[in-house]
Structure 1
Amino acid sequence: MTETGGHPWRERARPLRLERRVEFDEYEALREFLDKVAALSEETGLYPNLSFGRTYVNLTLFADEDGETLGREHEDFAQRVDDLLAGPAA
C-alpha cells in the first residue's frame, strides 16, 4: 500500500465520532484500500462513513445509537484499519 500521509484517528464531539484522513500516491492504492475496508466492514458489521477523492479518503466512525459512547468495536475497527495501512507483519 502506498500511503503517503494522513492523520491519526481523532475523537470528535457533536456528534461523537472517530475520524481519520489517509492520503495515497495514486488512485490504484486508494481503490485497493477501499476494497479492504469494505471487506473489513462486511466481517465486523461496522460501516464507517467514507468520503474520498482521487488520492485521499476520510473515514468517520460514529458513536452507537445513544450517541454518547464509542465502544470497543469502534476502537478495534480503527486499529484494524491502521493495520491494513501498515501492511503485512514482518
Structure 2
Amino acid sequence: MLSARRIDDYVTNHVVDRSFRGINLRDLTDEEIEDNAQKKLDRMEEADFDETYDRLDKEDKHAMLEAFIYDSVTPSSTKARVFEIDTEVEVDE
C-alpha cells in the first residue's frame, strides 16, 4: 500500500498533459458551456425542430431549454452532454 506521503508527493509533483497531437487544450468554463448551449438552442430554433416535442409550442420549448441551460443546480458537464458540446478547447497562445 502506498503511503500518504508518496501519494501526496505524486499529486503535488505530477503534471497533467493537456495536449493532443501538439495542440494545447483547456476545459471550457461553466459560462462558456452555457453560451455554447444557448447558441445551439438558437440554431435548433432556427432549424425548427417542432417534430421533436409535438406537445409543446415553440416558445415553451425554448423557455424550457433555456431554463435548463442557466439552472445553477445542474452541473455544466450535464449541460454539455445534453447539447453535445466538446468541453475541451484549444488554448490560444
What TM-score does the superposition give when structure 2 sets the normalisation length?
0.29
Q: Which has the larger radius of gyration?
A: 2
Q: Could you say which structure has the higher helix fraction?
A: 2
Q: Which has the higher contact order (CA 8 A, sep 6+)?
A: 2
Q: Could you say which structure has the higher strand fraction?
A: 1
